[in-house]
Amino acid sequence: MIKEVIVVEGKDDTTAVKRAVEAETIETGGSAINDEVLQRIRLAQQRRGVIVLTDPDHAGERIRKIIAARVPGCKHAFLPQEEATRNGDIGIENASPDAIRQALERVRTDCQAEESEIGWSDLMEAGLIVHPQAAARRLAMGWLLGIGYCNGKQFYNRCRMFKISREEFMDARKRLDNDAEGKAEL
C-alpha cells in the first residue's frame, strides 16, 4: 500500500488508481477545488503525505498549481498525455495500471527551492526553448526527469521546484540527444 494519499480529480481517476495500486485518494471534484477539499489535502499532507496525480491537461495543471500554492511540500506524479488519452479524452482514468504505477515510481517532491542549478541558458542550449522542436524536446525531457510536460517558463520553474540537479539534467539531455540521433539515422 502506498503510504501517501493520492490526490486525483474525480471518481473515475480513483478507480483507475485503485486498479494500479493499493492507495487512498482525495478527489478534488474537478478544477473548482474548494477550501474544504484543500483542508483535507492539508491534513493528509501533515499526517501521511500527499501525491498529486492530476490529468495532463490545462485543468489538471491548474489544480496542481492551486494545491502547490496552498499545501507546500506535496509530492507530484506526472503522466504524459499520450499515456492518459483514449478516443481523444485526456485523463488519469484513461491510463493503464502500468502507466500509473510508473508515474508513481517517478514521484517528485515540491521543494520550493530558492536557487536552481539549472538556468535559462541550460534550457536554451538543450533546445528546450527558442528551438524549432522545443515543445517536443520539453515533452521528452519532462518524461525523462519525471516532471511532466509544460511550457518553457513552467519547465524552468519545475526544475527549480523539484530541485533537478545539473547531473540529472545533463544525463536526461544526453539520453534525449542520443535518442534523437538514433531516430535521425533510421
Q: In the chain, which residue ranges form alpha helices assigned H by DSSP?
A: 11-20, 35-47, 58-70, 97-105, 120-125, 134-145, 152-161, 166-185
Q: What is the pLDDT of residues 80-92, one digit of tens each?
A: 989 999 999 999 9
Read off the C-alpha cell for 149. 510536460
What domains appear along the chain, each with residue ranges and CATH number? 1-110 (3.40.1360.10), 114-186 (no CATH)
Going by pLDDT thresholds of 50, 70 and 90, the confidence category of residue 116 is low
Going by pLDDT thresholds of 50, 70 and 90, the confidence category of residue 185 is very low
Strands 85-86 and 89-90, sheet pairing: antiparallel
Q: What is the pLDDT of residues 8-38, one digit of tens each?
A: 999 999 999 999 999 999 999 987 899 999 9
